[in-house]
Structure 1
Amino acid sequence: MPAEDDFTVTPYAVEGDIDYDRLLDKFGADALTAEQKAKFPDPGHPLVRRDVFYAERDVDPFLDAANEGKPHSIVTGRGPSGPMHIGHIFPFYFAKYLQDQTGTLVYIPFSDDEKYFLKDKSLGEISDYTRENLLDLLAVGFDPERTRIIVDTADADVVYPLATAFAKEVTQSTVDATYGEPENIGLSFYPAVQATHLLLPQLVEGRHPTLVPIAVDQDPHVRVCRDIAAKQRYDVAKPGALLSKFLPSLEGPGKMSSSDDAPSILLSDDRETVFDKIRTHAYSGGQTSLKEHREQGGNPEVDVSYQFLYYFFEESDEQVERLAREYQQGSLLSGELKEMAAENIANFLEAHQERRRALGPLEEELEQYRLTESERQDARRRAGYPDNSLVQQ
Structure 2
Amino acid sequence: MHEFTVTPYAVEGDVDYDRLLEQFGADELTDEQIADFPQPVHHLVRRGIFYAGRDVDRFTAAANCGDTVSIVTGIGPSGPMHLGHAYHFYHAKYLQEQTGAYVYIPLSDDEKRFSKELSFDEIHKHARENVRDLVAVGFDPDRTSIVVDTADADVVYPLAAEFATELTPATVEAVYGPPPNVGLGFYPAVQATHLLLPQLVHGPHPTLVPIAVDQDPHVRVCRDLAAKQRYDVEKPAALLSKFLPQLGGSGGKMSSSDDAPSILLTDDRETVREKVLRHAYSGGRSDVEEHREHGGDPSVDVAYQLLFYFFEADDTELERLAADYRSGDLLSGELKRHAADRIADFLEAHQRRRPDGPISEVVEPYRLTDGERDQLSPEVFDDV
Per the normalisation by structure 1, the TM-score is 0.95
Find the counterpart in structure 2 of residue 335 from structure 1: 333
1:23 aligns with 2:20: yes
**Deviation string, structure 1 residues 210-245 (Cα, Å, up to 9, x no partner):** 000000000000000001001121100000010000
Per-residue CA deviation, residues 191-223 of structure 1 (Å, 9 max, x unaligned), is 000000000000010000000000000000000
Secondary structure of 1:368's counterpart equals: helix
Paired residue for 1:94, among 91, 95, 102?
A: 91
The separation in 1 between residues aligned to 2:363 and 2:286, in whole angstroms, is 50
**Distance (Å, rounded) in 2 between the aligned partners of 1:392 and 1:11:** 43
Q: Secondary structure at the match of 1:35?
A: helix
Whichever residue aligns with residue 82 of structure 1, its letter is G
Does residue 242 of structure 2 align to residue 250 of structure 1? no
Q: Which residue, 214, 217, 220 being the options, matches 2:217?
A: 220
Distance 2:383 2:152 in 1: 13
> Which 4+ stretches in 1 moved above 3 angstroms?
388-393
Residue in 2 that maps onto 1:133 = 130
Aligned to 1:192: 189
Deviation at 1:175, TM superposition (A): 1.4
Q: Is the 8 A contact 2:260 2:279 kept in 1?
A: no
Partner of 2:347: 349
> How big is the shift at 1:325?
1.6
Worse-matched range after superposition: 335-344 or 325-334: 325-334
Find the aligned partners of 1:70 and 1:45 in 2 and give their Cα distance.
Answer: 20
Q: Distance in 2 between matches of 1:392 and 1:28?
A: 48
Q: Aligned pair in 2 of structure 1 residues 233, 288: CA closer, same or farther (>3 Å)?
A: same
Give the C-alpha shift of residue 54 in structure 1.
0.3
1:230 aligns with 2:221: no
Counterpart CA distance in 2 for 1:111 and 1:10 is 16
Shifted more, 23-32 versus 319-328: the winner is: 319-328
- How far apart are residue 391 of structure 1 and its match? 8.8
Q: Which residue of structure 2 aligns with residue 296 of structure 1?
A: 294
Shift, 1:360, TM fit? 4.1
SS of alignment partner, residue 322 of structure 2: helix
- 1:34 aligned to 2:25? no
Q: Structure 1, residues 95-136: CA drift from partner, whole Å, max 9, x if none?
A: 110111111110000000000111111111011001010111
SS in 2 for 1:320: helix
Letter in 2 for 1:100: E
Please give the secondary structure, in 2, of the residue aligned with 1:154: coil
Q: Does residue 64 of the first structure (1) align with residue 55 of the second (2)?
A: no
The one-letter code sitting in structure 2 at the alignment partner of 1:123 is: F
Using the TM superposition, give the Cα deviation of residue 323 of structure 1 relative to its aligned residue in structure 2, in angstroms.
Answer: 1.1
The question of 1:121 aligning with 2:121 is answered: no
Question: Partner of 1:208 in structure 2?
Answer: 205
Deviations 1:271-297 (A, max 9, x none): 000000000000001111112212221
CA contact (8 A) 2:71 2:104 kept: yes
Instruction: Choose the corresponding residue for 2:260, options 250, 262, 283.
Output: 262
CA contact (8 A) 1:175 1:191 kept: yes
Is the Cα contact below 8 Å between 2:159 and 2:193 reproduced in 1? yes
Structure 2 equivalent of residue 9 of structure 1 = 6
Using the TM superposition, name which of 71-80 and 252-261 deviates more: 252-261
Tell me whether 1:370 sits opposite 2:367 in the alignment: yes
Please say if residues 204 and 376 of structure 1, whose CA atoms lie closer than 8 Å, have aligned partners that are also in contact. no
RMSD: 1.5
The one-letter code of the counterpart of 1:226 is R
**Change in 2 beyond 3 A, CA 1:176/1:130:** same
Cα deviations across residues 325-384 of structure 1 (Å, max 9, x unaligned)?
Answer: 221122111111101100000000001111114x4432112111111122123334xxxx
**Paired AA for residue 300 in structure 1:** P
Alignment partners' CA distance in 2, 1:241 and 1:319 = 31
Q: Secondary structure at the match of 2:137?
A: coil
Task: For 2:315 and 2:383, locate their aligned partners in 1 and report how far apart those are by CA, in whole Å.
Answer: 52
Q: Distance in 2 between matches of 1:255 and 1:392?
A: 52
Letter in 2 for 1:285: G
1:43 offset after TM fit, Å? 2.2
Percent of aligned pairs sharing the same letter? 68
Matched, 1:155 2:152: yes
Distance in 2 (CA, whole Å) between partners of 1:173 and 1:242 is: 26
Between 1:301-310 and 1:320-329, the stretch displaced more is: 320-329
Could you list the runs of 5+ residues in structure 1 that have no partner in the other structure?
none
Q: Per the alignment, in what secondary structure is the counterpart of residue 139 of structure 1?
A: helix
Aligned to 1:177: 174
Could you tell me the TM-score, scaled by structure 2's length?
0.97
